[in-house]
Amino acid sequence: MVEDPKRKLLIVLAVLLLPRSVQTGNTDRLSGHHHCTDFQTANFLWGSKLKVRFLLFTSLSPSCGELISADDGIKNCSFNSSLKTKIIIHGFRALGTKPSWIEGLVQAILHTSQALGVSGTSIHIIGVSLGAHVGGLVGHFHGGRLGRITALDPAGPKYTRASPEERLDPGDALFVEAIHTDADNFGIRIPVGHIDYFVNGGKDQPGCPRFISAVYSFLICDHMRAVHLYISALNHACPILGFPCANHQDFLNGHCLDCEEPFLSSCPRIGLLEQAGVNMSRLPQEVKVFLMTSPSAPFCVYHSLVEFHLQKKRNRVTSIEISFSSNSTKDTAKITIPKDQETGKQLLAHQVPLCQITRVTLKYIPKNRFWSKDEPFVVGKFCVAPLPLNSSRTMSCLPWSLTLPSKTDISYDLPTACA
């Protein structure tokens, strides 16, 4: 159900700071206006006493946070309990400084919710890192009756081996989702929601530095990619879909091509769709889904299964590089065909829909050894299909056998019609 776009959405920013922060601002009740409140740098000399603050953002003042005073109570501020409410809880901030992504996330939520409407239960907590587990505790204290919790790379240290009562888990809200981008460092490795998106396997995000030359970016880029991915999903129309699979390698190898099990063919999508767009009355718990992204915003890519069928089996591994080209993009993957097998397959992520890919380039990479040379060419057939690939869709194959000479790029037109 889409609501009247003129209705307002309330965003409450829960400011959880260690050490204690200084907040300024108050409400002018006579005029009905309030002063804007912002983060300020903390001082280690003041100690590390936990001090929680709430800043209220509405579509009437999307860039001006109103401090909700604990003394006066929420009834004396602009909060309207009849409107849909989202609570953003940021992660650990050593100096209490304002996270750089806050304004972008607030603006994206207000813009998207005004345009699309928000359905379902009114409370939606969006927790980042440590804030994800704080959101889980809030949901736990409310008996799991909150509408939704979105965890953006929930914190891993000290939480991976914690009990469900001590961390975020699927029982904390009617719908719990998590986006994992740094599972090998600051993020948690285990699933914690009804749906857990392991982006690029959940670690080592494309576009993030792999060397320590830029220290801060090296340490935090993967961890914060979940936040920027979520903001991008709200700001751009291209879908960011996940596909259920047992593990990342099986996904890359083309063993998980649709969402028939367990989502009845409705693939979960990052964003604000109710239940992530999954059409199920009762969600299964802790389903891992996998997806690839591009190195920069808007991050969304299209996934296709590519296959190469050898004309005859070979007694050694066969490697073939596959590239998709459009007017403005080029994306590449490598197919590995095991020894004594005829078919190899792999997922290829591309930045435009398959129907906009104009050329496919194949290159056979021989496995030469010191004591024996590989064959100078291979012969076979190339096939491709966009994901999700279910029983109603079939692969498209080039209608002739291809002869691929050693280490030579061979290009072909790829005629696929747009739906």
Q: Give the pLDDT of residue 4.
A: 40
**Average pLDDT value for residue range 206-228:** 83
Tell me what the mean pLDDT of segment 168-179 comes to: 96
| Whole-number Å distance between alpha carbons of 367 and 359 | 26
The pLDDT, as a whole number, for residue 180 is 98
pLDDT of residue 13: 64
pLDDT beyond 90 at 211: no
For the entire predicted model, the pTM comes to: 0.86
Say if residue 45's pLDDT is above 90: no
Q: pLDDT value at position 32?
A: 47
Catalytic, out of 140, 223, 228, 303: 223
- Is residue 275 predicted with pLDDT exceeding 90? yes
Is residue 226 classed as helix, strand or coil in its secondary structure?
A: helix
Judged by average pLDDT, the poorest of 49-63, 108-122, 124-138 is 108-122
Q: What is the pLDDT of residue 27?
A: 36
Q: What is the pLDDT of residue 122?
A: 76
Of the ranges 22-36, 93-107, 145-159, 361-375, which is most confident? 145-159
pLDDT of amino acid 115: 53
| 8 Å CB contact between 242 and 116 | no
Q: What pLDDT was estimated at residue 49?
A: 63
Q: Where in the chain is the domain with CATH 2.60.60.20?
A: 302-413
Residue 179 has pLDDT above 60, yes or no: yes
Whole-angstrom distance, CA of residue 358 vs CA of residue 324: 8
Q: Which amino acid is at 375?
A: E
Arithmetic mean of pLDDT over the chain: 84
Under the banding of pLDDT at 50, 70 and 90, the label for residue 44 is low
At 214 the pLDDT is 64
Q: Where in the chain is the domain with CATH 3.40.50.1820?
A: 10-291
| Residue 100 phi, psi dihedral angles, 5° rounding | -65, -20
Token couple for 307 = 């296959």
The catalytic position among 113, 124, 140, 153 is 153
* DSSP state, residue 242: -
- CATH 2.60.60.20 for domain 302-413, yes or no, is yes
**pLDDT band at residue 111 under the 50/70/90 scheme:** confident
Work out the average pLDDT over 313-328. Answer: 93
Q: How does residue 72 score in pLDDT terms, banded at 50, 70 and 90? A: low
Crossing angle of the two packed helices 215-235 and 102-116, in degrees rounded to 10: 10
Euclidean distance between CA atoms 66 and 13, whole angstroms = 10
- Architecture label for domain 10-291: 3-Layer(aba) Sandwich (3.40)
Residue 24's pLDDT is 30
Q: Is 220 or 76 the better-scoring residue by pLDDT?
A: 220
Confidence of residue 140 (pLDDT cuts 50, 70, 90): very high
Instruction: Give me the residues paired with residue 359 across strands.
Output: 325, 413
Among candidate residues 21, 59, 129, 323, the one labeled active-site is 129
As a whole number, mean pLDDT of residues 343-358 equals 94
Question: Which pLDDT band, with edges at 50, 70 and 90, does 120 fall under?
Answer: very low
Distances (CA, A) of 391 to 52, 260, 388, 394, 395: 52, 9, 10, 7, 11
Q: Would you state the pLDDT for residue 393?
A: 76
Kindly provide the residue ranges of all beta strands, DSSP E only, lying in 258-314, ordered along the sequence.
287-291, 302-310
The predicted-structure confidence for 291-316, as pLDDT tens digits, reads as follows 999 999 999 999 999 999 999 999 99
Tell me how long the chain is: 419
90 included as an active-site residue: no
The per-residue pLDDT for 125 is 94
| Known catalytic membership, residue 228 | no
Establish whether 153 is a catalytic residue: yes
- The bridge status of strand 243-244 relative to strand 330-337 is unpaired
The pLDDT assigned to 31 comes to 38
Which residue would you say has higher pLDDT here, 58 or 121? 58
Spell 47-77 as b/e; 16+ CB within 10 A means b.
Answer: eeeebebbbbbbbeebebbbbbbeeeeeeeb
The predicted structure's pLDDT at residue 369: 79
